[in-house]
Amino acid sequence: MHVVERVPRYPAYSKQVYRTSYGKDECLEEALANADGLARLSLSPYRPAIGASVTKATRAYLKARFPHDPPGYRKARDYAGGPERAAGLNLLQAQVQEATFQPARDPSDWSIASRLHQSVFKVTDHLWEVVGRQSPAPVLPVNPYPNLSSRELQKLAEQFGYAVKPGAGKGSHIRMEKPGAHPVTIPSNRESLSPGVLKSTLASLGGYRLADIPTLRSKL
């Protein structure tokens, strides 16, 4: 919704709907969260992983527990069925868009986008947005993390006493070692490195973080 409309809808909803209803039975988001957890138990990869008997017992336990959960969460029993859950998700989408408990738009309109509430990406994915020079501000509400190229990270490691060990790297990777320190491995010929590589290498160089990259780069 944020990407399509270029307007951040969730902050207003969170302030005007979610926060004012949290701890009350009107908190639809938490009721749907509980109901969704119940529904997912019967789906792959959960059911095959935990087995049919455990799945059945867990679902029975959750259904019996829901009425005793805190306000909002305990309303999950009202959305345990597929059609009820779909109607609840449609209402939630309308609440988010309009930041109100009683949206003017018919919530059933959201049936045309029944999977809009689901993430398109995995939680571990790194999202990138390409913005032209003449484009307006980026849509994604995040700041890009500081980055380094393979060559910059290698030069930085050399400043901390590391040296390349010839023949030790595998294919497109460079292995660097320093007496008494943990070796580091750097992907070669990259214009930018992943946060994981940067975090682990910077930590090995002396407990540095991504936020320290601008200062470290200025010393290259």
Residue 28 lies in a domain: yes
> Of the candidates 61, 87, 113, which is a domain's last residue?
113
Residue 124 lies in a domain: no
Total number of domains in the chain: 2
**Residue 64 pLDDT > 90, yes or no?**
yes
pTM of the model: 0.56
Structural domain containing residue 192: 150-217
In order, the DSSP letters of 103-126 are -SS-GGGGGGGTTTTS-SS-TTPP
Same domain, 175 and 101: no
Same domain, 6 and 90: yes
Same domain, 23 and 73: yes
Q: How far is CA 198 from CA 4, 168, 212, in A?
A: 32, 20, 11
Same domain, 28 and 82: yes
Same domain, 108 and 156: no
Same domain, 49 and 95: yes
pLDDT band of residue 4 (cuts 50, 70, 90) is: confident
Q: What element of type H or E holds 13?
A: helix 10-13
Residue 121 lies in a domain: no
**Residue 77 pLDDT > 80, yes or no?**
yes
Give the pLDDT confidence score for residue 26 in this predicted structure. 95
On whether the CB atoms of residues 28 and 18 are closer than 8 A, the answer is no
What is the tens place of the pLDDT at every residue in 145-176?
778 999 999 999 999 999 998 876 666 788 99
On whether the CB atoms of residues 21 and 72 are closer than 8 A, the answer is yes
From 161, 137, 152, select the one nearest 193 (Cα to Cα). Answer: 152
